[in-house]
Structure 1
Amino acid sequence: MEPSSSSLSSVAVKNSGKKRKSSALTAQDEAKRLKTGQEGEEVVECPPRLPRISVPPERLQQPITLNELTELLHYAALGKAGGIKQPSWCHLHHQRKVTGVNVVIVDGLAQSHFYKHYLSLQHLRARYSSRVTFTPSPNNVASEIFSNEVPKSEDSSLSHTLKENNDIPKALKNHPVITKFGTKRKGLTAYLLTQEEMIKKTYPVKGMPGFEEFVCTDSVDCVTDRSPLYGLDCEMCLTEKGNELTRVSLVDSDGNCVMDELVKPQNRILSYLTKFSGITAAMLRPITTTLRDVQAKLRAVLPWDAVLVGHSVNNDLIALKLIHPHVIDTSLLYRKEFGQRFKLKILAEKVLKRQIQTEEKNGHNPIEDALAALELAQYFIQTGPRQVVEHHLEDLWGYTIEEEVTDCASAPTPSLRFADILQTLGQSVAFFGKRSDVSLDLSNQRWHSSDKEVLAAFRRQTKSPFLSVLQFSSLADQLKGCVAHQEQQHQRLRAYLQNMCVVFAGPFPAGFSEREVKRLFCCCGPVWKIKMLPTPVRVCLPCVRILHVHAMVEFELLEGAVVALKTLNGLNLHGQSIKVQRPVDESLLDLDLTLNALMDDALNTTNLYTVKLKPTLAGCIKHSGKVNGHTLDPPCPVVASFKATKGLWPPKVNGKQLKLTTTKCALSEETVRETFGRFGTVDTIVLPAESGRRASHACIKFKNSEGKHSALRSSEDLWKEEYAICPSLTPPHLRSWVSMSAMGSSADVKGDDGERTHMHTSSQDQKMALMMGKLDRRLGKVFRSLPDCTLSVVLLLGCTSAHGHLPGLCFIEVKCRSGAEQ
């Protein structure tokens, strides 16, 4: 019997009272949740804890191997529940919230390429918060990622899952339901449609074209396994504008009808579709309820955490012009092969043992259909996908399980390969790159001839694979064609990086030794090498020459060169001012831009460099001021008179004794923390690890950037305490810039010092810079296309040259939602 308009109204009125009471309780609970023990105080809700990666400072100075990288990938994908321990070299926080793993492998590039073209790689240097040196591997890295075996753990849930999967008959392993949902029973949130699936299946989604006029329900962002299910079904008729809503029914999780409304279409009706909808002209004649009225009632009836259930419920939401983010579609739970769907009538008959939509009835009953969809979803959730398939394999999917006779002794051992385990757990894996020997099923490989095609194929995926590996090989292919240039390029890269740590100083008076130069410049940071450059200068008399001595000072750290330029330039020795400057070289014309970029590097935003000056020297050298716009105070040269005593320079500075041979200043973590803790919370302090040497410099990492800037503003006060500071520039994963090319000594670079000061930018260099910029943009597009909470790894593989291995570089970041990044 079809309901009259009065009975429909009474149902709505009766349930609206329950809804108001429920809403009042919900609001009261929410108010209690926002209160603390003290009346009137509101709790500031913390943002959701998102996964993030951190690497201890001391571990940053050591390269990682391919095995150590796979440690991280295994833990990110499987976690402690899979019996995997935290990686030995880093820490992944909140691993359970990781939604996927993506690795981009860049062939042919080394760590030195990144720093040579640092300004061109804006995405890489700004986006990734962790950067670690990578030791080149002789093996196929992509293949190793897929085939590397996961450590075996008998007590983990992963082991039990593998054993259970080994017992699953072959007929079930590739079943569409098992492939999608696995075999274990899960909560309702495991069966919610993702936003990507809703977009693909034409569900109304906020922000998508075509749904601008749709109304959104008052729904929370996240629901839980305890959230209530509501069955929904609608009936439509044909109007001048197409199908329009004529009836909507809603049942709660107990099967009670909480809403059943007839709706008057806005446009002229062409057909009531009575055979299917059950709607007649007589039924709609007295109805005045509009679509807007129904939308308002639905928003009032549905709780904030409601999950809507229906059969092809996208059609119902489109008819309602309603957007609701949390949906379970029974036509996609009980899956068929090749995307085909069961009819609701068939599912109700075979699973619920109930007859609906029978020929005796005039059209469908939406209350009956909504209840059937609700019970089908509840049955699926409570029973679990494997049992559902086993119980209804024959009557729904049309085939039976044949008993397989197997010898227990010869039963296959479950594969521990990473890719196999993920697929066993129902997770997808894929490789995108050039055709190569990758240990992965061909069905999961996408081969392309260029990086552009690899990127396009990956972005075309409607849903990102849980584990995806992309291999960009274009740069490597182009570099292979010019082996001689490649070798020369590596030499020039080493020279360029060394140049950034070099200063030239002088003239020093005759007799000023290399040892004394080193002692003078060590106040700015650890010195790698000094080379004396004697220069004879002719004066008035033809036969009289005075020998002026200059020196080339190469620091271990870029900060040492910066501090030397700001503190020692203009120092007067024996009435003669010395000049400290960088090499004059075409390759360093953009050095100021590079320094600014390094200061803003994601790895340096909270880091500060400091050196402890010798007490007498600190009093004689005037505190200097700015490093690329960061205030330290302008330099003011001191006039110091040095007098030679027994050939040793200099015993005095401005009349003060400068004991270069005996005065030693040492930093300790306690003194540094005590001194700099007043500017902000100090996270870590990194001191040089050389045994037997006292630390004269340190890198300080504050909890936030404000601590660093506060210390920079107080640089003059710190100078009085014998501390010189500047913003950190050297990436923390590098012990020294020179260490990147330590495989070959300076002598290995042809024309060492001549090459150092006469490098030029060739057409090959310019071409390489353009290619690196294009690579960076492609990497940015890959990152932006990843789902939130995906672990993203970019791997520069490194190279092998005549001088040995050139180390690669590993970039690591967890993509977080906009505005919620930690």
Structure 2
Amino acid sequence: MKRKSNAGHGPAKRLKGREIGADENGQCGPRMSVLPEHLQHPITAKELMELLHYAALPGITGIKQPSWCSVDGQQHVEGVNVVLVEGVTQRDFYKHYMTFRRLRSNYTSRVTFTPSTPSTSNLLSGIFSSDVATLDGSCVGPVERGSSKLHKVLTTHPVVTKFGTRRHGLTAYLLPQEEMIKGHYPVKGMPGFEEFVCTHSDDVVTDASPLFGLDCEMCLTVRGYEVTRVSLVDCQGTCMLDRLVKPDNKILDYITQFSGITAAMLQPVRTKLGDVQAELKRLLPRDAVLVGHSINSDLMALKLIHPHVIDTSRLYRREFGQRFKLKVLAEIVLQRRIQTEERTGHDPAEDALAALELAQYFIRRGPLQVLEDHLEQLWGLTLQEESTHSESEPSSRFAEVLQRLGRSVCYVGKRCDVALHLANQQWLHSDKEVAASFRRLGKVPFFSVLHMSPLSKRSQDLPAKLDHEVKTWVAGLCVYVLLTACVVVLQASTPLGDMCMLFAGPFPVGYPEREVRRLFRCCGRVRRVKMLNRTHRVRFGGVPPSLHANRSRFMQVHALVEFKLLEGAALALQTLNGIQVQGHTLKVQRPVNESTLDLDVTLNALMSDVLNTRRLYATRLEPLLARSISAKRSEHAPDAEHSELNDCTPLAAETYELSEETLVQRFGRFGAVERVFAKAKPGRRARYACIQFASPEGRHAALRSLEELWRENFLVCPALTPPHMTSWLADDDREHVTPTVLEVQMEHTMEKLDRRLGKVFMSLPEGTLSVVLLLPRPSAPNSSPGLCFLDFKQKVIKPRGEERKCESELI
């Protein structure tokens, strides 16, 4: 997909949902972006419903547009998928940031989420039962599928949503090539089918083309399942072909109870698979349509490619891709018993004829009439409730509006009180089953909600169990060895507090805390400063201490500085390390412990985050401090009058003020500036700013011009803090201590969660709005807020490796 840039600085990549591609027909896909003024404001469940309603109901007049984000290309939305992850908070995501590789790269919008209700079940039910605002008559639905005269049980049935209600010719029920590829039917030109034989079939098939029923029986050989009997019947029910086939490989199991084949039957047979393939090519006309029940397995066994097929297991459809057995369909629809227990094995000619007649019946009667004839016997549904609700006004509940429009709706997750018909729900016990079941669906529902809970009750009880075990085994050294090994293997995730912490010193004795804060706040907002004083004794070489009346003592003063934003710590480490403070050369460094072993990797990943690839963090130094840092950078001896920080009295504010006009003027030469974030307290000037360019090339150009910006007293670095966060530090982060063994399990759990969320995202069709909600547990006290990931699935163009490498060297 080709994307256009409006910045004039080379091809822009797709970021924050701003750029959008077009398909081969020139049609643009859907896109969304969070409005800048709402980036740092949490969204509520009500605001999320606004987006879901607007995206899932394109073309319906009167639907309220979301107040906190913009959606373009609404008419091209192919579906909406919502995944609720219970028990994982915003802090958990950033604590295990490197683990969530797929989650952070698949979504270009990320906002804080605060549910209005503490119960996840209430939120789930509210998604389906929320009222759609300002609905009018156009919400009744399409003329064909959503007619007000049609019972809602029928409008939402998978047969109607797939084929409509009117009768069509046989061409309407042919499997499209895309569905054949997805269902692993033999298709010419696809890998794995190079040795398959193609029939003599025309590309054009009409409603008058002949139907042929096909069925095979197989046995198990050393090379897998191979065909042992083939039957073909024509549209009149005449058996045209019924052959026993000798497999090429040694037979391990005849599977007689199903195939009806025995060793005695195959003993005199000389017919091989190639003979049957040649006979089928001779018998089938060029416009033939093959009919079978799960006919893909028959074609695979025959190693035959035929482009025009009707699969009766996909005609008589069920919810969530489930299929009826041929025996059940024949007994209920055709009033005929096949595959009876009195007979050993199946008769392929009988099965082929049953499949053929089922297809003919479906084509002749039409989808709606088939449903009305066998709705209760096959699908277990009745239309009795129609009489009680036929005169009432249509409901404005979200799920019912979607179903009236003929759009499929489903819920997959653990058993929950959801305002949705039981036929549209799948109750499962584990997250693994939820992801696997959703991916196995024959067709992804238009609106789907998945509920995952990776932290099971067993995981919640683990801290208490672990505490008991530690107390029991505390006398043994094995516990210490085990915990130490876990730390080494895991290289524990970086706590949020340690990411923003720096140690600096030595400072002169008596150097006040307020001056340290004043020095470091030139790089970013300082959360707290703690002075660290230590007294050292000095021994003179070669002279016993007893000869001295007083031992010499001196004091070293250091400071622990915690920034609110990670950019402040990165800039302070880059610029303040090595400067002179009243004759003392400062050394600025990060803490070194097991929690910061992989900090550099995390910083590089944050810098390349899709939310930050167009953003630049900037501050402007006071001229006096800039001269001192310049002396350090040039590695010349500083002039005491100009370089030492004996007096940090600020100059006129206008000389280094950060205003939106100034920043747009100064940074606009690198590329089009989309927005400037420069917050300040009322009555005070802004000290720090975030510049967002229209394309990543603007940021790259600014980073390549660091020396030019430095001459103007600007300090810049790639943005590291996501736009929705105001601080990297949580108030309770320092108090939240997790046992090491539990941390190992948490890391493994988060990795599995990320892998499953990635698989769900990959299974969605392009143009689907994907939403992932991380929700804290209602019972968890003082838990951090949730997090919402949003994006339309489209083809993503990743940044070039050279650009990433260039930026990573700046941190």
Q: Which amino acid is 2:96 matched to?
A: H
Task: Report the TM-score, using the length of structure 1 for normalisation.
Answer: 0.65
Partner residue, 2:649: 659
Cα 1:424/1:403, change in 2 over 3 Å:
closer
Mark the runs of 5 or more structure 2 residues left unpaired by the alignment.
1-21, 215-230, 241-277, 331-359, 468-491, 540-548, 800-811
Cα 1:711/1:527, change in 2 over 3 Å:
same
Instruction: Say whether 1:790 aligns with 2:778.
Output: no
Question: How far did 1:590 drift?
Answer: 1.2
Contact 1:112 1:494 (C-alpha < 8 Å) held by counterparts: no
Contact 1:83 1:158 (C-alpha < 8 Å) held by counterparts: no
Instruction: Say whether 1:65 aligns with 2:44.
Output: yes
Partner residue, 2:560: 552
Contact 2:145 2:165 (C-alpha < 8 Å) held by counterparts: no
Instruction: Say whether 1:465 aligns with 2:431.
Output: no
Question: How far did 1:166 drift?
Answer: 4.2
Q: Which amino acid is 1:670 matched to?
A: E
Contact 1:231 1:310 (C-alpha < 8 Å) held by counterparts: no
Q: Which amino acid is 1:448 matched to?
A: L
Partner residue, 2:618: 610
Aligned counterparts of 2:752 and 2:700: Cα–Cα separation in 1: 34
Partner residue, 1:149: 131
Question: How far did 1:119 drift?
Answer: 1.3
Question: How far did 1:430 drift?
Answer: 1.8
Instruction: Say whether 1:583 aligns with 2:573.
Output: no
Question: How far did 1:784 drift?
Answer: 1.6
Instruction: Say whether 1:807 aligns with 2:797.
Output: no
Q: Which of 545, 554, 569 is equivalent to 1:561?
A: 569
In the TM superposition, what whole-angstrom CA distance separates every residue of 1:461-489 from its partner, at most 9, and x where no partner exists?
121222222222231424421466999xx
Contact 1:104 1:794 (C-alpha < 8 Å) held by counterparts: yes
Q: Which amino acid is 2:599 matched to?
A: L
Question: How far did 1:83 drift?
Answer: 3.4
In the TM superposition, what whole-angstrom CA distance separates every residue of 1:64-120 from its partner, at most 9, and x where no partner exists?
112222222222211342532332112222122222222222111111111111111
In the TM superposition, what whole-angstrom CA distance separates every residue of 1:745-793 from its partner, at most 9, and x where no partner exists?
x8xx55xxxx9xxx89711111211111121111112222222222222
Instruction: Say whether 1:776 aligns with 2:754.
Output: yes
Q: Which of 691, 708, 715 is equivalent to 2:706?
A: 715
Q: Choose 103-112 or 706-715, whichever is displaced more.
A: 706-715
Question: How far did 1:497 drift?
Answer: 0.7
Partner residue, 2:150: 168
Aligned counterparts of 1:769 and 1:656: Cα–Cα separation in 2: 48
Task: Report the TM-score, using the length of structure 2 for normalisation.
Answer: 0.66
Aligned counterparts of 1:161 and 1:235: Cα–Cα separation in 2: 31
Aligned counterparts of 1:276 and 1:389: Cα–Cα separation in 2: 22
Q: Which of 428, 439, 450 is equivalent to 1:448?
A: 428
Residues paired across the two proteins, number: 648
In the TM superposition, what whole-angstrom CA distance separates every residue of 1:136-190 from its partner, at most 9, and x where no partner exists?
441323222222222232264457989974433579657776454556999x999
Aligned counterparts of 1:415 and 1:478: Cα–Cα separation in 2: 41
Aligned counterparts of 1:274 and 1:107: Cα–Cα separation in 2: 55
Question: How far did 1:710 drift?
Answer: 2.1
Aligned counterparts of 1:472 and 1:781: Cα–Cα separation in 2: 14
Question: How far did 1:812 drift?
Answer: 1.6
Contact 2:108 2:790 (C-alpha < 8 Å) held by counterparts: yes
Q: Which amino acid is 1:806 matched to?
A: S
SS of residue in 1 equivalent to 2:60: helix
Cα 1:611/1:818, change in 2 over 3 Å:
closer
Q: Which amino acid is 1:62 matched to?
A: H
Q: Which of 113, 116, 132 is equivalent to 2:111?
A: 132
Q: Which of 693, 717, 722 is equivalent to 1:726?
A: 717
Contact 2:211 2:289 (C-alpha < 8 Å) held by counterparts: no
Aligned counterparts of 2:738 and 2:145: Cα–Cα separation in 1: 63
Cα 1:811/1:638, change in 2 over 3 Å:
farther
Contact 1:793 1:813 (C-alpha < 8 Å) held by counterparts: yes
Aligned counterparts of 2:535 and 2:415: Cα–Cα separation in 1: 63
Cα 1:654/1:639, change in 2 over 3 Å:
farther
Q: Which of 117, 120, 135 is equivalent to 2:96?
A: 117
Aligned counterparts of 2:288 and 2:442: Cα–Cα separation in 1: 23
Cα 1:44/1:91, change in 2 over 3 Å:
closer
Q: Choose 96-105 or 531-540, whichever is displaced more.
A: 531-540
In the TM superposition, what whole-angstrom CA distance separates every residue of 1:351-377 from its partner, at most 9, and x where no partner exists?
xxxxxxxxxxxxxxxxxxxxxx9xx99
Aligned counterparts of 2:692 and 2:513: Cα–Cα separation in 1: 34
SS of residue in 1 equivalent to 2:668: helix
In the TM superposition, what whole-angstrom CA distance separates every residue of 1:627-675 from its partner, at most 9, and x where no partner exists?
xxxxxxxx556654668xxxxxxxx525997533754622222222222
Question: How far did 1:560 drift?
Answer: 0.4
Contact 1:571 1:640 (C-alpha < 8 Å) held by counterparts: no
Q: Which amino acid is 1:467 matched to?
A: F
Q: Which amino acid is 2:129 matched to?
A: S
Partner residue, 1:412: 392
Partner residue, 2:353: none
SS of residue in 1 equivalent to 2:411: strand
Cα 1:552/1:237, change in 2 over 3 Å:
closer
Partner residue, 2:502: 503
Contact 1:107 1:472 (C-alpha < 8 Å) held by counterparts: yes
Cα 1:95/1:309, change in 2 over 3 Å:
farther
Cα 1:483/1:108, change in 2 over 3 Å:
farther
Q: Which amino acid is 2:501 matched to?
A: V
Q: Which amino acid is 1:431 matched to?
A: Y
Aligned counterparts of 2:510 and 2:383: Cα–Cα separation in 1: 96
Question: How far did 1:585 drift?
Answer: 2.7
Cα 1:163/1:618, change in 2 over 3 Å:
same
Contact 2:211 2:235 (C-alpha < 8 Å) held by counterparts: no
Q: Which amino acid is 1:562 matched to?
A: A
Cα 1:391/1:402, change in 2 over 3 Å:
closer
Aligned counterparts of 1:402 and 1:429: Cα–Cα separation in 2: 19
Aligned counterparts of 1:190 and 1:580: Cα–Cα separation in 2: 72
Aligned counterparts of 2:592 and 2:184: Cα–Cα separation in 1: 62
Contact 2:32 2:791 (C-alpha < 8 Å) held by counterparts: yes
Partner residue, 2:14: none
Q: Which of 59, 71, 93 is equivalent to 1:92?
A: 71
Contact 1:309 1:328 (C-alpha < 8 Å) held by counterparts: no
SS of residue in 2 equivalent to 1:622: helix
Mapping of 1:211-250 within 5 angstroms?
233=209
SS of residue in 2 equivalent to 1:679: coil
Contact 1:504 1:582 (C-alpha < 8 Å) held by counterparts: yes
In the TM superposition, what whole-angstrom CA distance separates every residue of 1:220-242 from its partner, at most 9, and x where no partner exists?
9xxxxxxx99657368899xxxx
Question: How far did 1:315 drift?
Answer: 9.5
Q: Which amino acid is 2:650 matched to?
A: L
Mapping of 1:279-298 within 5 angstroms?
none
Aligned counterparts of 1:496 and 1:93: Cα–Cα separation in 2: 38
Partner residue, 1:347: none
Contact 2:55 2:74 (C-alpha < 8 Å) held by counterparts: yes
CA-atom RMSD, angstroms?
5.4
Mapping of 1:400-549 within 5 angstroms?
411-482=391-462, 496-538=495-537, 542=550, 545-549=553-557
Q: Which amino acid is 2:128 matched to?
A: F
Question: How far did 1:58 drift?
Answer: 3.1
Aligned counterparts of 1:59 and 1:688: Cα–Cα separation in 2: 14
Cα 1:554/1:162, change in 2 over 3 Å:
farther
Mapping of 1:19-58 within 5 angstroms?
48-58=27-37
Mapping of 1:633-644 within 5 angstroms?
639-640=637-638
Q: Which amino acid is 2:209 matched to?
A: D
Contact 1:110 1:806 (C-alpha < 8 Å) held by counterparts: yes
Mark the runs of 5 or more structure 1 residues left unpaired by the alignment.
1-42, 221-227, 239-269, 280-289, 299-307, 344-372, 488-492, 625-634, 644-651
Kindly, what percent of the aligned residue pairs are identical? 45
